[in-house]
């Protein structure tokens, strides 16, 4: 198998979104071609309620899937399909916006704050106007696989013979939450290896601890990653990760790229500017949502 080198490291920017939620935009608009079919990754939340309680009030999406994965706290949600509820620690919301959905995600006050991720996955041209759909996943539905050097929560796709609870979505992405054990010292130890088939886009975002190496970089040297760093892997079929002295926690995702034109404005992603213009005209006219609950 050919180990993937690290093609690029994204360190993101601190910003606010929604009605004022503090977050780190790990990647987004401007990196679309390199990360295809992944559009955006936000690490959101804080311990200060002023940085998260304003939330993400009612807003539209079309042409994409939004994936909210929570590590800490709770988020109340609702949408134009009539779906509503609360996402808690270890839980997942996979929403296919398709032809159009309007929803809200409102973090709730928590003694330890709120922390999680939102990943946007592009839909292929043939599925952008499909009926919207919602999938909610409870923490106990997520398989946890023990492996030498750590453990893996399988959110979507498969690992170690276990299949994640999110199935039947476009491009069949793999989305994993990894916990890697600390490295004992400088002596060689087995690296944590992940299948990453040739042709798929693959990235890893470290949200806690560090990686001593996420594989060689363009200069041939090991690429260390600190918390807040995201590595985009180059060609190959295997990602090899080595945790730092304090261990690491990270999310890893991979999927086949679409290689289609992208027209992106705010919460809507289509293939042409004409399709974008139509979407915003329909939203203004109240005809945006094609299917209601």
Looking at the domain assignment, is residue 292 inside a domain? no
- Strands annotated E in 88-200: 92-96, 101-107, 114-122, 133-137, 144-147, 150-156, 158-159, 162-163, 174-180, 192-195
Compute CA 100 distance to the chain's CA centroid, rounded to the nearest angstrom: 20
The fraction of the chain above a pLDDT of 70, given in percent, is 97
Q: Domain of 236: which CATH number?
A: 2.60.120.10
Question: Do residues 283 and 270 make contact, with C-beta atoms less than 8 angstroms apart?
Answer: no
Q: Considering the domain boundaries, does residue 106 fall inside one?
A: yes
Which segment of 15-19, 27-31, 81-85, 186-190 scores lowest on mean pLDDT? Answer: 186-190
160 in any annotated domain: yes
Strands 174-180 and 238-255: antiparallel
Counting Cβ atoms within 10 Å, is residue 201 exposed (0-12), middle (13-18) or buried (19+)? buried
Q: Is the pLDDT of residue 163 over 60?
A: yes
Asked if the structure places residue 290 within a domain, the reply is no
| Total number of domains in the chain | 1
Look at residue 264 in the predicted model and tell me its pLDDT.
97
Residue 30 has pLDDT above 80, yes or no: yes
pLDDT tops 60 at residue 188: no
pLDDT at 249 over 80: yes
Distances (CA, A) of 32 to 38, 237, 269: 7, 22, 11
Distance CA 194, CA 54 (A): 38
- Mean per-residue pLDDT of the chain: 94
173: left (phi over 0), alpha (psi -120 to 50) or beta: beta
CB within 8 A of 144, min separation 6: which ones? 151, 152, 153, 154
Residue 63 lies in a domain: yes
Domain interval for residue 170: 6-285
Q: Is 52 exposed, middle or buried (0-12, 13-18, 19+ CB in 10 A)?
A: buried
Q: What is the pLDDT of residue 220?
A: 76
210 in a structural domain: yes
**196 inside domain:** yes
Structural tokens at position 34? 């390199």
Q: Rounded to the nearest 5°, which phi and psi values hold at 148? A: -55, 120
Which is more confidently placed, 263 or 169? 263
pLDDT of residue 185: 52
User: Residue 55: is its pLDDT beyond 90?
Assistant: yes
Task: Note the pLDDT tens digit of each residue in 221-238.
Answer: 889 999 999 999 999 999
The tens digit of pLDDT for each residue in 70-89 reads 999 999 999 999 999 999 99
Does the structure show a pLDDT above 70 at 56?
yes
pLDDT at 64: 98
Residue 293 lies in a domain: no
pLDDT reported for residue 202: 97
Sorted by sequence, the CB contacts under 8 Å of residue 53 that are 6+ apart come out as 107, 108, 109
């Amino acid at each position: 198998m050919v180990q993937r080198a690290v093609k690029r490291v994204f360190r993101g920017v601190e910003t606010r979104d929604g009605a004022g939620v503090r977050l780190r935009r790990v990647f987004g608009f401007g990196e679309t071609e390199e990360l295809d079919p992944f559009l955006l990754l936000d690490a959101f939340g804080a311990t200060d309620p002023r940085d998260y309680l304003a939330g993400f009030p009612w807003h539209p999406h079309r042409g994409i899937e939004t994936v909210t994965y929570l590590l800490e706290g709770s988020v109340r949600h609702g949408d134009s399909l009539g779906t509503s509820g609360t996402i808690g620690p270890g839980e997942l919301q996979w929403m296919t916006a398709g032809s159009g959905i309007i929803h809200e995600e409102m973090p709730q006050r928590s003694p330890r704050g709120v922390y999680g991720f939102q990943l946007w996955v592009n839909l292929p041209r043939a599925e952008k106007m499909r009926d919207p759909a919602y999938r909610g996943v409870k923490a106990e539905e997520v398989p946890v696989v023990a492996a030498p050097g750590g453990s893996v929560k399988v959110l979507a796709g498969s690992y170690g013979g276990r299949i994640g609870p999110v199935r039947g979505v476009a491009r069949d992405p793999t989305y994993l939450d990894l916990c890697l054990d600390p490295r004992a010292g400088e002596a060689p130890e087995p690296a944590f290896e992940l299948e990453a088939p040739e042709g798929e886009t693959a990235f890893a975002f470290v949200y806690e601890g560090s990686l001593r190496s996420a594989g060689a970089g363009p200069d041939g040297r090991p690429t260390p990653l600190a918390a807040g760093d995201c590595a985009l892997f180059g060609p190959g079929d295997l990602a090899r990760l080595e945790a730092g002295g304090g261990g690491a926690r990270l999310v890893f995702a991979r999927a086949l790229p679409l290689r289609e034109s992208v027209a992106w404005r705010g919460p809507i992603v289509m293939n042409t500017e004409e399709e974008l213009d139509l979407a915003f005209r329909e939203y203004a006219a109240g005809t945006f949502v094609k299917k209601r609950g």
